[in-house]
Amino acid sequence: MSTPFPRKERGESVVRWLYSLALYLLSPFTLYHLVSRGFRVREYFRRWDERYAAYSTEQGRPCVWLHAVSVGEVNAAAPLVNALLRQGKGTRWVVTTITPTGSQRVRALWGERVDHVYLPYDLPGSVDRFLQHFRPTVALIMETELWPNMLFGCRDHRIPVYVLNARLSARSLRGYRLLRPLLGRALRTVRCVAAQSAADARRFQVLGARADQVRVLGNLKYDVEVPDGLGALRSAFADALGRPRPVWIAASTHEGEEEAVLALHRRLRARWPDLLLLWAPRHPERFGRVQAQAAAAGWQVGTRSRGGWPAAGDEVFVVDTLGELMAFYACADVAFVGGSLQPVGGHNLLEPAAVGTAIVTGPHLHNFAEVSRRLDEAGALRVGQDLNEVGDALEALLGDPGLRQAMVAAGLGLVDQGRGALRRTLELIAPDLPAPDPVED
């Protein structure tokens, strides 16, 4: 017997009407946003029709729909999508993102095996056109993407929704306080909120989810897939260097952290003059800028897109490609994970742990509070409260191979211990997945 869909709650029409009215009044600013972002990232000038759910193609057959806002969420979803692609040959997949970098990552991971479009703005008309065009049989929403009209629209179209790998920081919960009457009603339309941790589960209930809707399944990021051929890649990297050199990586850094990275590299090179910095900014529009900044600081700079591997004389090597971060984590002795020296909230700490690299971050980790706590308690993470403490931690780890190895062992053990969310998630959503169509071998 199929699970019944929830009915409209009392007062839903009023709060939804007010929310939608506000969105329509603000909709001219969506054009301003696309244009302003387009001057920095040219891809924002393209595919505007998808942002408003105006499709030129014909309606396709029903699909499984997964939404992952950007690169981090796409990477988190990768083990799940890969497992389902193997299981469900013949099933049509549609993956949506919001950012162009997320779109590029989808294409890099799955090519033409999935369809990709941008998620439309949360306007009732756009939502309805999107759902009627793609006809999803189930919706899988990654992490914290709570768009009320989309959730209500799925309920109205009788599409079961799962919020997977769900996380909600205390800071985000405070930010949602004005929208809580609306978001609570929207949350209660979903089939299940699969929370990363008990703390996340409690916060989703405070936001409005019912206790029977929320389950703690763990973090899919622990089921991270280590790149194939990692040993061969490390060997090619070492051959390119030509001699043993200390290497550190500054990964997923943001605009406000770039001067900090330059200062850290100056400090560390005073002790290790042949130290190489691998630098992987979070956003592609920063690739050229950090390259110019490093060159202006007087260092010889190489790039992944131009040279492939660092030259023997390179002092900074900019990883200006997408999808290779884990491989370059594996080539470094120590990793600094950005988004943590300013209140961004940090980035995925499990990727360097999974490939055996010691990890240092700044103090702003609210997006990865549970993961950072567990890594810290296991002895697999050093958290600096400011730039000077981050530098101290990097210096201590570069100078002590034994300490690095102890952190690596702790990180690998924690990742292995944390695996299992993927299996539990597959079991959770299995009843609502379509039976695979027979396909030709």
Would you list the domain boundaries of the chain? 12-218+421-432, 230-418
When pLDDT is cut at 50, 70 and 90, the band that residue 440 belongs to is very low
Half-sphere exposure of 26 (CA within 13 A, CB side): 11
Span 90-122, pLDDT tens digits: 789 999 999 999 999 999 999 999 999 999 999
Q: In this prediction, what percent of the chain has a pLDDT beyond 90?
A: 84
CA–CA gap between residue 76 and residue 222 (Å, rounded): 9
Evaluate if residue 6 carries a pLDDT over 80: yes
Q: What is the pLDDT of residue 437?
A: 61
What backbone torsions phi and psi does residue 402 show, to the nearest 5 degrees?
-65, -40
Give the least confident one: 54-58, 164-168, 267-271: 54-58
Half-sphere exposure of 326 (CA within 13 A, CB side): 21
Mean pLDDT over each residue of the chain, to the nearest integer: 93
Q: How far is CA 210 from CA 14, 146, 189, 201, 394, in A?
A: 21, 16, 10, 10, 44
Q: What is the mean pLDDT of residues 347-364?
A: 96
Q: Please, what sign has the CA dihedral across residues 234, 236, 240, 243?
A: positive
Annotation marks residue 112 as catalytic: no
User: Among residues 332, 406, 79, which one has the least CA distance to residue 223?
Assistant: 79
Query: Tokens representing 348?
Result: 């995925």
User: Among residues 106, 108, 109, which one has the least CA distance to residue 117?
Assistant: 106
Q: What is the mean pLDDT of residues 416-422?
A: 96
Q: What is the pLDDT of residue 4?
A: 75
Span 22-62, pLDDT tens digits: 999 999 999 999 999 898 888 999 999 999 999 988 888 89
230-418: what fold?
Rossmann fold (3.40.50)
Q: What is the mean pLDDT of residues 85-93?
A: 85
DSSP state of 275: -
Identify the active-site residue in 12, 50, 73, 258: 73
DSSP state of 42: G
Across 31-45, 79-93, 388-402, the highest mean pLDDT is recorded for 388-402
When pLDDT is cut at 50, 70 and 90, the band that residue 436 belongs to is low
When pLDDT is cut at 50, 70 and 90, the band that residue 441 belongs to is very low
Query: Does domain 12-218+421-432 correspond to CATH entry 3.40.50.11720?
Result: yes
Q: What is the pLDDT of residue 88?
A: 75
